[in-house]
Amino acid sequence: MTRSISRTLTTALGASLAVTFALGLAACAPSATPPGSAVIDTDNSSTAAIESYIEAGRAEAEAEAEVYSDIYQDFSISAENASTLVYRYVFRNQLDPAQARSDMEAAQESLESAAQVIFAELEGAGVTNPVVKWVYVNADGTEITTFSYAK
């Protein structure tokens, strides 16, 4: 059983990264804002920037998440505040929370690397002091773990 959970979580983290990068690539498409334009550092502009980043990549990220519908029953991307991007994954099947948390923590280096890429994308979109969170939720709705990285 433990080996099956580990394999599922390895696939799940890979899926998380695939969805994460799908959003990032779509959101990095050329915009109407000229290069070198000044970005006003206010909560309002940062909120608008993070919302725009999410909307620009939402369709592609959701399509990528659909590929992993055998692992996740739900997936969402949201802005927690003006600088925090949240990826939320709900597993389709109930996992042992302690085992799942342990396996995910062992693989979090991949998320840390992804966060570094996302920080640059968010800053390029006009988000100040970016934070990226990945939230993993069990099938019964209880949170398994959250990984949060701030630049």
Q: Does the predicted TM-score (pTM) go above 0.85? A: no
Question: What range does the domain containing 122 cover?
Answer: 2-29+38-150
Residue 112 has pLDDT above 80, yes or no: yes
Q: Scan for tokens 């696939």, then name that residue.
A: 11
Question: How large a percentage of the chain has pLDDT more than 70?
Answer: 72
Position 31 scores a pLDDT of 42
Position 28 scores a pLDDT of 47
Position 12 scores a pLDDT of 62
Q: What is the mean pLDDT of residues 9-38?
A: 51
Q: Count how many Cα atoms sit within 13 Å of the Cα of residue 60 in the half-sphere of its side chain.
A: 16
First to last CA, the chain: 37
Given pLDDT bands bounded at 50, 70 and 90, which one contains residue 100? very high
Residue 69 has pLDDT above 50, yes or no: yes
- How many structural domains does the chain have? 1
Q: Nearest CA to 22 among 48, 52, 58?
A: 58
Given pLDDT bands bounded at 50, 70 and 90, which one contains residue 10? low
CATH number where 112 lies: 3.30.300
